Amino acid sequence: MDMKQIVQNKRLRRCAVACALLAAALLACGPFLSGGVWHGSDLGYHLRRVENIAMGLADGRFPVRIQSDWLLGNGYAVGVFYGDILLYFPAALRLLGVPVTAAYDLYLFAVTLFTAAAAYYAVRRLAWPRMSALAAAVLYTLSAYRLCDVTDRAALGEYTALAFLPLAAAGLWRTLCPDSSRLPGWLLLVLGLSGVLQSHLLSFELTVLCLALAALVLARRTFARAALVRLAGAAGAFCALNAGFLVPLLDYYFTGKFQINQPGGVEPIQQNGAALGQLLGVGYALDAGQQQDLVKGMALTPGPALLLGALCAAGLAVRALLRRRPAGAAACLGLGAAGALGLALSSNLFPWDALYALGGAAERLIGSLQFPWRFLGPACLLLALAAAGGLALLRPRARAVLAAVLCLLAAGSAAAQLQAYTAAAAPESYVRGTEEPFWPMSCGHYLPAENGPTDINRLQTEAVWADGIEMRDFQKQGLTVQVTAANVSDVDAWVQLPLLWYRGYTARDTATGAALPVFCGENNAVGVWLAPGYSGSFTVDFREPWHWRAAEVLSLAVCAALGLCGARRCLRKRMDQKNG
């Protein structure tokens, strides 16, 4: 076979893989390609996020830290506490006139396709065959739990984080054991973790926990001097790249009072775990006291194809060990065992309540998880990697046959799951994200608590003022309020505005530009003090602190530097290949 035929065969194989990944992505989000959506638990929350980002951009704000159209227009700090950089894509579509449901569908398809491609790339970086990587990508993309995130839960943050999880896993391994790929392992780790962080904070915490445990299991590699240097460099690059999100988040969390960082507010979680039969995808019954509305009926399982693939991989690994062919077998069994541990952590049988009862940090950490079955995301990835490792132990023809069987089973199971989901209700369509009727307020985690908990039933819709204030004009556009008033008393008097208190609001006299004192008023509303004899107009607006802006500049600079370094490395590798 001459060189031209070899190149053509490589191109055909790559084209076939690309078509297979595209087919898996189309199947995984097929019902959402119509421009409508089906209701999921968090759908309205995320549609409102997209709409509010678009509104903020239209008002000239970037990034949109405080989203204005929450809580009767009082504003909500979603953009500080919840990573949303990827949502600027559907928000930009909204600015172009695309209905919010169509923008959401396009975002979902892009994330799903990226999930399949990232999983395939991650397995290839682990030096496993092409067919193993393709099977793992299909099994992971079509796993029942990931589809549950997309459908029943509409958990946009979590299913986006799952797209980056394979990159973080492969990045850790290639940081400890470098290869000659164009993208160095430490950079792959940084990109994977950054994607998870910018998508879903709880998923980031779980990912860091899982990677830390993996690093301890691989202690001999982890604590080698060269590996520690690469890990330290990755940590520094990660912090710098994400400074624009981390600095505002940590600033508010550690220096402000919000519902999310106040004592209490967490509950035991074991009763919310998945039943054993539910994890295995068979019939099950919930125990008395479980929150059936949260657990019952949800596909809290990796799905039959992924479970079967992991079982086959375990069998193949044991056979290889018995035949004294340990290469890859131990890794396959280890991944399968880690996936099984993830399933155990997801269940209502794991003693979460006993750990919660320890109190202190354990209570806060465990309570913040809300649902044990969040561990199903990492478990699905580990089981998919185990399946890939098992397939790698087979000869090429047998590998192709078993991979095809598993992929077909995954496709059939996914089609049945999606058909059952869409048959339960009719699709919905909205032009604006604020039209969705199920999230008129918010879940409240990011409400200010400077003067005690915010009572959402007492939120202002108009300005209120103290005795001695003559209100002459009041206008509000988004987060910007313009007031014309006079203080005819002989003492300082206040005006309280329909804006929730988040540090960063300023008030300035329109004529002189002089700053006026702002304060956190009753029910955590923004208030402005007016001196005796004051008469004029002033503007209240949200302005980011200087150190937030500095962090954003740092993130942009690091992003540009990493992109340039990556491009130079790719060009150098390509030139070396041509010269070689």
Residue-level pLDDT, tens digit, the chain, 580 residues: 454 565 467 788 889 999 999 999 999 998 898 778 888 889 999 999 999 999 999 999 999 999 999 988 999 999 999 999 999 999 999 999 999 999 999 999 999 999 999 999 999 999 999 999 999 999 999 999 999 999 999 999 999 999 999 999 999 999 999 988 888 999 999 999 999 999 999 999 999 999 999 999 999 999 999 999 999 999 999 999 999 999 999 999 999 999 888 876 667 888 888 888 889 887 666 555 555 555 667 889 999 999 999 999 999 999 999 988 777 899 999 999 999 999 999 998 999 999 988 888 788 888 888 889 999 999 999 999 999 999 999 999 999 999 999 999 999 999 999 999 988 777 888 888 776 665 555 568 899 999 999 998 899 999 999 999 999 999 999 999 999 999 999 999 999 999 999 999 999 999 999 999 999 999 999 999 999 999 999 999 999 999 999 999 999 999 999 888 877 877 777 776 666 5
Tell me which DSSP letter residue 267 carries.
-
Residue 63: is the preceding peptide bond cis (ω within 30°)?
yes
The half-sphere exposure of 224 on its side-chain side, counting CA atoms within 13 A, is 11
pLDDT of residue 325: 77
Direct distance between the N- and C-terminal alpha carbons of the chain, in angstroms, rounded to an integer: 20
> Whole-angstrom Cα distance, residue 272 to residue 488?
58
The half-sphere exposure of 2 on its side-chain side, counting CA atoms within 13 A, is 1
> Whole-angstrom Cα distance, residue 162 to residue 147?
11
Query: Over the range 110-130, which residues count as b (16 or more CB within 10 Å of their CB) and which as e?
Result: bbbbbbbbbbbbbbbbbebbb
> Whole-angstrom Cα distance, residue 257 to residue 237?
30
pLDDT of residue 302: 96
Tell me which DSSP letter residue 198 carries.
T
Rounded to 10 deg, the angle between the 546-579 and 225-241 helix axes is 130
Torsion from C-alpha of 302, 308, 313, 318, nearest 10 degrees: 120
Amino acid at 267: E
- Pick from 135, 89, 88: nearest CA to 110: 89
Tell me which DSSP letter residue 484 carries.
E
Contact 508, 535 (CB under 8 A): no
Three-state SS letters, 543-561: CCCHHHHHHHHHHHHHHHH
- Pick from 124, 396, 104, 64: nearest CA to 245: 64
- Pick from 40, 41, 68, 43: nearest CA to 54: 68
Q: Decide: residue 7, CB within 10 A, 0-12 exposed, 13-18 middle, 19+ buried.
A: exposed
Complete DSSP assignment for 35-87? S-B---TTHHHHHHHHHHHHHHHHTT-SS--SBSSSGGGT-B-HHHHS--GGG
Please state the separation of Cα 148 from the chain's center in Å.
15
Contact 37, 103 (CB under 8 A): no
Contact 296, 354 (CB under 8 A): no
pLDDT of residue 478: 93
Complete DSSP assignment for 444-466? -TT-B-BTB---GGG--SS-EE-
Max Cα-Cα span within the chain = 97
- Strands 493-500 and 505-509, how do they pair? unpaired
List C-alpha distances in Å: 25 to 88, 156, 181, 398, 401: 22, 16, 26, 25, 21
Contact 116, 141 (CB under 8 A): yes
> Whole-angstrom Cα distance, residue 278 to residue 276?
5
**Whether pTM exceeds 0.85:** yes
pLDDT of residue 26: 96
> Whole-angstrom Cα distance, residue 137 to residue 123?
8
Complete DSSP assignment for 214-256? HHHHTHHHHTSHHHHHHHHHHHHHHHHHTHHHHHHHHHHHHHS
> Whole-angstrom Cα distance, residue 119 to residue 142?
12
Sign of torsion, CA 519 521 525 528?
negative
Radius of gyration of the chain (CA): 26
Contact 467, 489 (CB under 8 A): yes
